Amino acid sequence: MKTDVADALSREPDNFNQFLNSPNFYATQQATFIDEYKEYLKIPAAPCEKPLIWWQSPHNEWLSLTRMALDVLSMPLMSAESERVFSAAGYLLNRRRNHLKDDIIEATSCLRAWLEA
């Protein structure tokens, strides 16, 4: 066992070990890092009617911040439909049917929504 450790230490490091033990790995990574949010806050605030179009514009140099903004802004707003489905499932469950399994409740809710569509 001790000879295996000694052999491993005496060998020339392979590419993976050089990568893991690179003395200047973090120094080179931090040199290219910029805080996109701080850079974004430096521009003057202005009203924007269509934020999705603004964030998709080609002049945008904040790639990560743009991705996050598009993820958040492209989410559909909550509609009354989800509340309606939730209420309908609540009406389905009463004292006599409170032991229905979740797959039966889901199937019944889907069938009701499909029939109403």
The domain ranges of the chain are 2-73, 80-116
Residues 6+ apart with CB under 8 A from 63: 36
Q: One digit per residue, pLDDT tens: the chain, 117 residues?
A: 555 656 656 667 677 776 667 666 555 555 456 788 888 899 899 898 888 888 888 767 888 888 888 888 887 776 677 777 778 777 888 777 788 888 888 888 888 888 876
Long-range contacts of 77-85 (CB under 8 A, 24+ apart): 85/109, 85/113
Model confidence, pTM: 0.40
3-class DSSP state of 33:
coil
